[in-house]
């Protein structure tokens, strides 16, 4: 099966009416918007559908709006396609979408965090004091030199904030310094384009926001990754949920290394990517710098159908793999290969033999249909396995390892948190 990456866009991709095809197509997408409305305390869906572009562009609105559209797209993707990615990555704000969809943070926490992130970023730079400008086709060294010459003090500073692709960098900082650096580069026939954003992201002006935002991040709980997520700061996968607070804090002032993310995909043999969310900005970067990776946007109805058709063979491969590597199959294997310490034959008959036969019947049904198990069937198998291991008097720590192995190797930890290692209390 091909290696797939899921991509999530960042701020600047927002537009009035985004996500409309998702809403019309899927109840899961509508549920995501309803959840966002409830968490945020205002009608986000109405703002996206009928609000003003100026209001949507404000950082504290754009960030939860883009997160919600990306999560809605992901839910539609999982419902209609469901191929598990080898990696996911998001550009700036999109990293929150990637972490949410990989099960690291809850959608509710992510909404609150990005709303607060937007507010802090807005407050960190007074209206009009900062700016961001895209630099197209310039050598990074020349851009760096222009930024250094334009940065004459802490009150006039500009830095490279985004390494988006080989053809595009973004500079960010105090407006006067950004304009000075942009003018110098333009004199050397470099194309420039000022961005419609309300704060200078990924620049020293965000230091105050970063300090305060770290406290917000530290108040949340982060779970195990369902698949690797690439950090904007390092351009490499997170190694542990323990890194989330530090990396997302540093991300506010550090440059986005999207170029390194694309390089990693190519090096790791990723051959297909899907951009879940508004517009096609990341798709265009991938098509320019990662030509070996076929990239699809995934927001409009035609795009949804095109990706589903492209992945038909992968969907079948995954289904065949799941048929022999699923929760039910692994529960049977774990029950058999675990040592028995209970020699009460009557208790063993009731607590092990009968539940084992129930799981066997579940497996036989799956073998007949060729379908992967439903969530209800997987949950039943896990509950029966727990009964069997208790009957065999398997120590709690060994049981914990058995369940952790099953959930990790089948990629189902997010579906069954009650069986995850974090939920066990061992005396």
Count CB atoms within 10 A of the CB of residue 250.
17
CA distance 111 to 127: 24
Query: Considering only CA atoms, which of 153, 68, 63 is closest in space to residue 116?
Result: 63
Is the separation of the CB atoms in 424 and 228 below 8 Å? no
Angle, to 10 degrees, between the axis of helix 140-150 and the axis of helix 175-187?
130
Q: Could you give phi then psi for residue 91, rounded to 5 degrees? A: -90, 115
Pairing of the two strands 3-8 and 87-90? parallel
What does 191-222 look like in DSSP terms, one character per residue? EEEE---SS--SSGGGHHHHHHHHHHHHTS--
- The residues annotated as belonging to the active site are 92, 202
Q: Could you give phi then psi for residue 318, rounded to 5 degrees? A: -65, -40
Count CB atoms within 10 A of the CB of residue 368.
8
139 phi-psi bin (left φ>0, alpha ψ -120 to 50, beta other) = beta
């Amino acid at each position: 099966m091909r290696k797939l990456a899921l991509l999530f866009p960042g701020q600047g991709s927002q537009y009035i009416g985004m996500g409309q095809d998702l809403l019309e197509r899927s109840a899961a997408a509508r549920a995501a918007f309803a959840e966002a409305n409830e968490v945020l305390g205002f009608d986000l869906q109405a703002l996206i559908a009928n609000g003003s572009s100026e209001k949507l562009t404000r950082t504290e609105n754009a960030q939860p709006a883009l997160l919600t559209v990306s999560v809605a797209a992901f839910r539609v993707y999982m419902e209609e396609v469901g191929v598990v990615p080898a990696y996911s990555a998001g550009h700036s704000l999109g990293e929150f979408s990637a972490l949410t969809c990989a099960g690291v943070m809850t959608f509710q926490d992510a909404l609150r965090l990005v709303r607060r992130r937007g507010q802090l970023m807005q407050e960190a730079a007074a209206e009009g004091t900062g700016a961001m400008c895209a630099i197209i086709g310039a050598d990074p060294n020349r851009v760096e030199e222009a930024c250094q010459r334009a940065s004459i003090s802490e009150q006039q500073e500009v830095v490279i904030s985004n390494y988006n692709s080989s053809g595009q960098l973004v500079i960010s900082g105090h407006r006067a310094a950004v304009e000075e650096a942009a003018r110098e580069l333009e004199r050397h026939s470099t194309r420039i384009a000022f961005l419609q954003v309300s704060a200078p992201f990924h620049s020293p002006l965000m230091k105050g926001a970063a300090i305060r935002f770290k406290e917000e991040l530290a108040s949340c709980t982060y779970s195990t990754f369902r698949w690797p997520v690439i950090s904007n700061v390092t351009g490499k996968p997170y190694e542990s949920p323990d890194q989330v607070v530090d990396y997302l804090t540093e991300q506010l002032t550090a440059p986005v290394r999207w170029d390194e993310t694309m390089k990693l995909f190519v090096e790791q043999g990723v051959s297909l990517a899907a951009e879940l969310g508004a517009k096609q900005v990341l798709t265009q970067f991938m098509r320019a710098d990662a030509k070996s990776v076929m990239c699809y946007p995934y927001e409009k109805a035609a795009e949804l159908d095109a990706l589903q058709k492209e992945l038909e063979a992968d969907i079948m491969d995954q289904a065949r793999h799941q048929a022999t590597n699923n929760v039910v199959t692994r529960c049977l294997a774990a029950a058999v290969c675990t040592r028995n310490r209970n020699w009460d034959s009557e208790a063993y008959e009731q607590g092990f033999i009968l539940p084992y036969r129930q799981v066997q019947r579940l497996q036989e049904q799956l073998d007949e249909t060729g379908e992967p198990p439903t969530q209800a069937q997987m949950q039943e198998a896990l509950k029966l396995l727990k009964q069997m291991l208790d009957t065999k008097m398997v120590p709690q720590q060994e049981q914990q390892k058995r369940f952790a192995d099953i959930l990790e190797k089948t990629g189902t930890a997010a579906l069954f948190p009650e069986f995850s290692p974090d939920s066990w209390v061992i005396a």
